[in-house]
A and B are shown apart, each in its own frame.
Chain A
Amino acid sequence: MAAVGQGAVVARINDALRRLPVWPLYPLAFLPAASWLWMAAEGRLGADPVKALEHEYGLLALQFLVAALAVTPLRELTRVSLVRFRRWMGLMGFWYALMHFAVWLVLDRQLDWPRVVEDLTRRPYVVIGFVALALLVPLAATSWNGAVRRMGATAWRRLHRLAYPATALAAIHFVWLVKAWPPEPLAYAVAVAALLGYRAARGLRRPAGRAATGGRA
Chain B
Amino acid sequence: MLIRRPPAIPWSEVTPEAVYLDRRRLMGGAAALGLAALAPGGAAAAPLAAAPSRYSTEDPPTALDHITSYNNFYEFGMDKGDPKRNAGGLTTAPWSVRVDGLVGRPGVYSVDDAAPPERLEERVYRLRCVEGWSMVIPWIGVPLSTLLAAADPQPSARYVAFETLVRPEEMPGQRGLFQPLDWPYVEGLRLDEAMHPLTILAVGLYGETLPNQNGAPLRLVVPWKYGFKSIKSIVRVSLVAEQPPTTWNMQAPNEYGFYSNVNPAVSHPRWSQASERVVGGGLLAPRRETEMFNGYAEEVAGLYAGMDLGRHY
Q: Give A contacts to B, CB under 8 Å.
A: 40-41, 43, 46-51, 53, 107-108, 110, 112, 115, 118-119, 123-125, 176-177, 179-183
Q: Which of B78, B277, B282 contacts A180 (CB 8 A)?
A: B78
B271 near A: Cβ within 8 Å? yes
A-B contact pairs, 17 of them (CB 8 A): A43-B282, A47-B65, A47-B66, A48-B70, A51-B133, A108-B277, A112-B275, A115-B272, A119-B271, A119-B272, A124-B270, A125-B271, A176-B270, A179-B131, A180-B251, A181-B180, A183-B177
B284 near A: Cβ within 8 Å? yes
| Cβ–Cβ < 8 Å partners of B69 in chain A | 46-47
Q: A194 to nearest B CB, angstroms?
A: 19
| Cβ–Cβ < 8 Å partners of A40 in chain B | 283
Q: Which of A46, A49, A115, A125 contacts B81 (CB 8 A)?
A: A46
Q: A22 to nearest B CB, angstroms?
A: 33
Bound Cα distance from A53 to B282, whole angstroms: 12
Please determine whether B280 and A47 come into contact, CB atoms closer than 8 angstroms.
yes
| Cβ–Cβ < 8 Å partners of B165 in chain A | none
Name the residue among B62, B251, B270, B286 with the largest chain A CB count within 10 angstroms: B270
Please determine whether A107 and B180 come into contact, CB atoms closer than 8 angstroms.
no
| Cβ–Cβ < 8 Å partners of A50 in chain B | 277, 283
Bound Cα distance from A47 to B66, whole angstroms: 5
Q: A54 to nearest B CB, angstroms?
A: 11
Q: Which chain B residues in 269-292 approach chain A with CB under 8 Å?
A: 270-272, 274-275, 277, 279-280, 282-284, 286-287
Q: Chain B interface mostly helix, strand, loop or mixed?
A: loop
Q: B136 to nearest A CB, angstroms?
A: 13
Bound Cα distance from A177 to B270, whole angstroms: 7
B181 near A: Cβ within 8 Å? yes
B11 near A: Cβ within 8 Å? no
Q: 0/1 per residue, B62-101, Cβ < 8 Å to A?
A: 1001100110001000101100000000000000000000
A-B pairs with lowest CB-CB distance, top 10:
A47-B70, A180-B180, A47-B66, A183-B178, A47-B279, A182-B78, A40-B283, A49-B283, A48-B279, A125-B270
Please determine whether A182 and B272 come into contact, CB atoms closer than 8 angstroms.
no
Q: A105 to nearest B CB, angstroms?
A: 13
Query: With contacts A41-B283, A107-B283 known, what are 18 further pairs, Cβ within 8 A?
Result: A47-B62, A47-B70, A49-B282, A50-B277, A51-B133, A51-B277, A107-B284, A108-B277, A112-B287, A125-B270, A177-B270, A177-B271, A179-B248, A180-B74, A180-B251, A180-B252, A181-B178, A183-B178
Q: A129 to nearest B CB, angstroms?
A: 12
Q: A59 to nearest B CB, angstroms?
A: 13
| Cβ–Cβ < 8 Å partners of B282 in chain A | 43, 49
Please determine whether A123 and B70 come into contact, CB atoms closer than 8 angstroms.
no
| Cβ–Cβ < 8 Å partners of A110 in chain B | 286-287
Q: Which A residue sits closest to B287, measured CB to CB?
A: A110
Please determine whether B270 and A123 come into contact, CB atoms closer than 8 angstroms.
yes
Bound Cα distance from A168 to B270, whole angstroms: 19
Q: B203 to nearest A CB, angstroms?
A: 23
Name the residue among B62, B66, B251, B279 with the largest chain A CB count within 10 angstroms: B279
Bound Cα distance from A108 to B132, whole angstroms: 11
Q: 0/1 per residue, B252-278, Cβ < 8 Å to A?
A: 100000000000000000111011010
Bound Cα distance from A181 to B177, whole angstroms: 12
Q: 0/1 per residue, B159-181, Cβ < 8 Å to A?
A: 00000000000000000011011
| Cβ–Cβ < 8 Å partners of B74 in chain A | 180
Name the residue among A43, A118, A179, A183 with the largest chain B CB count within 10 angstroms: A179
| Cβ–Cβ < 8 Å partners of B130 in chain A | 179
Please determine whether B70 and A46 come into contact, CB atoms closer than 8 angstroms.
yes
Bound Cα distance from A47 to B280, whole angstroms: 6
Bound Cα distance from A156 to B66, whole angstroms: 50
Bound Cα distance from A190 to B286, whole angstroms: 37
Bound Cα distance from A119 to B80, whole angstroms: 25
Bound Cα distance from A198 to B66, whole angstroms: 45
Bound Cα distance from A84 to B243, whole angstroms: 61
Q: B274 to nearest A CB, angstroms?
A: 7
Q: A125 to nearest B CB, angstroms?
A: 6
Bound Cα distance from A182 to B184, whole angstroms: 18
Q: Which B residue sits closest to A49, measured CB to CB?
A: B283
Bound Cα distance from A41 to B285, whole angstroms: 12
